[in-house]
Structure 1
Amino acid sequence: MKNNLFYFIILLCTVYLVFGCQNKLCNSTVTNKNNFTVHAKLKNLKKGYVIIESKDESLPNTFNRDTVSVDNGGFTYTNCIDNYKIFSVYLPQLLNGKEYKNTKHSISCNTSKKIWFIGYPGARISIYGKVSNFVDGYPVDDKGVNNDLKSVFSQTIPIENIIENLISKSNEGELVQLSKKEINDSLSYYDNLVKNIKIEFIKSHPNSVAAAYLINSSYANQEFDNILTAKLIENMNHEKLREVSFYREVLQRLSANFKLNPRFYKH
């Protein structure tokens, strides 16, 4: 029935409100068990520093960031966290000569120019790979949370790099031999490749924290619409994921849209 999806989301929203809990700042009494550590080693990573950024949960549209020194092509990072959280690592050598400015807003940098990993309490994360005109390096950990992220991003990041290069060259007038339609058709083709890789992974990994992150980020970025997002969530393991921050966040967003737009589920 056409109403089933609507009631399903409302039910999930209720579960979230009853059982969910907000992210908390790390308490000094539990700091050790909530620590996580990242060890990275990347070929062609220049000596200097990297910038590790994450969302500040206490303030809207603001970010926390740490500057971490690089030595012998690698770096080590330790932090304290109470739930799953996405982190991005910026490499100044890929910022195209632009000076980094320490603001509360996210650093402007293309997806393929960053390293991505999911931090969580007790995680021991390793990142290996290389740096060229993008970061071909991906995380793994002993629980497999980041291994899932790697399995997706090792496919999508190289494609994202193609997309970003097409956009950059088009903006700089380097693709005059191609019509605007040809450029847009190419971008649509690669965008759909990335989208389909994510969808297929999510469908086949209903227990995955990384899949929950992909749903949340793709919905927030309007890559996934309301209907697709609701259908993907319907297939997820709600009992296992209900305390995962990414999952709770996408449920909040989706349930808000159902309430604001109660007719969209009929489409």
Structure 2
Amino acid sequence: MRKKLLIPLLFFSPSVFAQEGKFTVSGKIDGLESKIIRIYTKDKNGSRVVDSVKVSDGYFNYNSKIEGMESISFYPPNESVMKRVDRGFYPAKSSTFQFIAFPGANVKFSGKIADFVDAYPSGDPANNDLGSLNKVIYPLMNQSVNLAVKIGKNTITDSLAIKKAKEQIEKLDNEVVNIKTTFIRNHPSSAAAAWLLGDMMLRSQVRNEEAMALYQKMDQQKLKTNPFYIEVVKRIEGLRATTIGKPAPAINSPHTYNKKRFDLAALKGKYVVIDFWGTWCGPCVSGMPKMKEYLDKYKGKMEMVGVANESDNGDKWRDFLDKNKDYHWHQVLNRNDEDYVLKYSVAGFPTKIIVDPQGNIVGRYVGEDDSIYKRLDEIFK
């Protein structure tokens, strides 16, 4: 847990907080009923860190240390914003307080909680920009998820009504994407726009060609040291480096299940399938028996390499592999200091990449279907 300082801030100036690597976020939110809200950040390895913030009469005030610039979300436990379906819920972004933290930031939230978090950040250019964007897209995102909840709860049962609801969801989602891309074009020097482009690439909300076009319009001089922009640069480099016919980027990592350093280059001479997956990803896990089947089918001709993207320190990944010994092919844990998800510009899970014996990429498949297995059968027929 991060160390919290819930004390008056009158004695601290933003410059002092910047020197100490601290940020502050506060707000008075109508309808915030809970006494505690949770905040999720990441440590230097990319593992999730959970902390809590006290709330009194809708008011919260939180400060903590941070090394660079990071997008952070508060999750209020108000039942009104929980998009529940059966035993689960839809993790809607419009149900969170989102802001950008950095050393010296003093972020202020204002607004209310209805059936979504109708409250937005301000206090500096990055948060002012993010707040202005979210104020437009949050209501649309909320409309979309509310329709999804109705379908999920069988509130809508008529087939024609369900079809219309799905069409409306698609229309709303496309409108949100269009607003986001317009925002990026209109804010070429904004840290919020740099974060947004990286997030859209990660979620496959923008085509590769459009992502490159948006990237080229960004103000490199003003953003060149910005962490969000640097991540976008790496994603763009990953796109360019992992097109069909290009040499597969190096994977050389000590973060392995067998605790022995793994080097992709050592597998030259065989076909290799690199599988980007996570224990949290249902389709990734459900596809593993088929991967095992094909590894056995073409034993000696091909190798499998799993690259797991996990939000914790890897405990869930190790526990999963401990319990599933059939999946003990080469298994690597993605870490921030060796971010192969970024290097390969992976934007959906699972993503499987076929590398030929010369080390060149000959196939890229997103999602769990039979396309990659048909390709492997063609290769080895």
Relative to structure 2, which stretch is displaced further, 162-171 or 250-259?
250-259
Query: Whose relative contact order is higher, 1 or 2, with alpha carbons under 8 Å and at least 6 apart?
Result: 1
Residue 215, structure 1, aligned to residue 197, structure 2: yes
User: 91, 110, 115: which is aligned to 2:97?
Assistant: 115
Match of 1:39 among 26, 31, 43: 26
Q: Distance in 2 between matches of 1:253 and 1:135?
A: 30
TM-aligned CA deviation for residue 40 of structure 1: 1.2
Counterpart amino acid of residue 152 in structure 1: L
Is the alpha carbon distance of 1:63 and 1:108 closer, same or farther for their aligned partners in structure 2, counting shifts above 3 Å? farther
Describe the shift of the 1:205–1:262 C-alpha distance in structure 2 as closer, same or farther (beyond 3 A).
Answer: farther
> What amino acid does structure 2 have at the position aligned with 1:66?
D
The one-letter amino acid of 2:230's match is: R
The one of 50, 56, 61 equivalent to 1:65 is 50
SS in 1 for 2:188: coil
- What is the count of residue pairs matched by the alignment? 225
CA distance in 1, matches of 2:170, 2:90: 22
Aligned-residue Cα RMSD (Å) equals: 2.3
Secondary structure of 1:175's aligned partner: coil
Which structure 2 residues correspond to residues 1-267 of structure 1 after superposition, within 5 A?
Answer: 32-59=19-46, 62-94=47-79, 96=82, 109-141=91-123, 143-177=124-158, 179=160, 180-261=162-243
Q: Distance in 2 between matches of 1:248 and 1:56?
A: 18
With the length of structure 2 as denominator, give the TM-score of the two structures.
0.56
- TM superposition shift of 1:184: 2.2
Distance 1:159 1:253, change over 3 A: same
Q: After TM superposition, give the deviation of residue 176 of structure 1 in Å.
A: 1.8
Where does residue 345 of structure 2 map in the other structure? Answer: none
Deviations 1:92-141 (A, max 9, x none): 1146498xxxxxxxx97311110100001111110000011110000001
Moved more, 202-211 or 240-249: 240-249
Q: Which runs of 4 or more aligned residues in structure 1 lie more than 3 Å from their structure 2 counterparts after TM superposition?
A: 30-33, 94-98
Aligned AA for 2:200?
Answer: S
Instruction: Name the SS of the counterpart of 2:119 in structure 1.
Output: strand
User: Where do 5+ consecutive residues of structure 2 fail to align?
Assistant: 1-16, 247-381
* 1:82 counterpart SS class: coil
The amino acid across from 2:129 in the alignment is D
- Aligned residues of 2:183 and 2:193 also touching (Cα < 8 A): yes
Q: Which moved more, 1:173-182 or 1:40-49?
A: 173-182
2 CA distance for matches of 1:217 and 1:43? 29
Change (3 A) 1:96 1:206: closer
Percent of paired sites with the same residue: 30
Question: Counterpart of 2:74 in 1: which secondary structure?
Answer: strand
Letter in 2 for 1:148: D
Larger Rg: 2
> Does the CA contact (< 8 Å) of 1:36 and 1:122 recur in 2?
yes
1:43–1:129 CA contact under 8 A, matched in 2: yes
Once the 2 structures are TM-superposed, how far is the Cα of residue 177 of structure 1 from its aligned partner?
Answer: 3.4
> In 2, distance between residues paired with 1:153 and 1:263?
40
Tell me, in whole angstroms, the C-alpha distance in 2 between the residues paired with 1:253 and 1:193. 24
- Distance in 2, matches of 1:157 and 1:97, equals 14
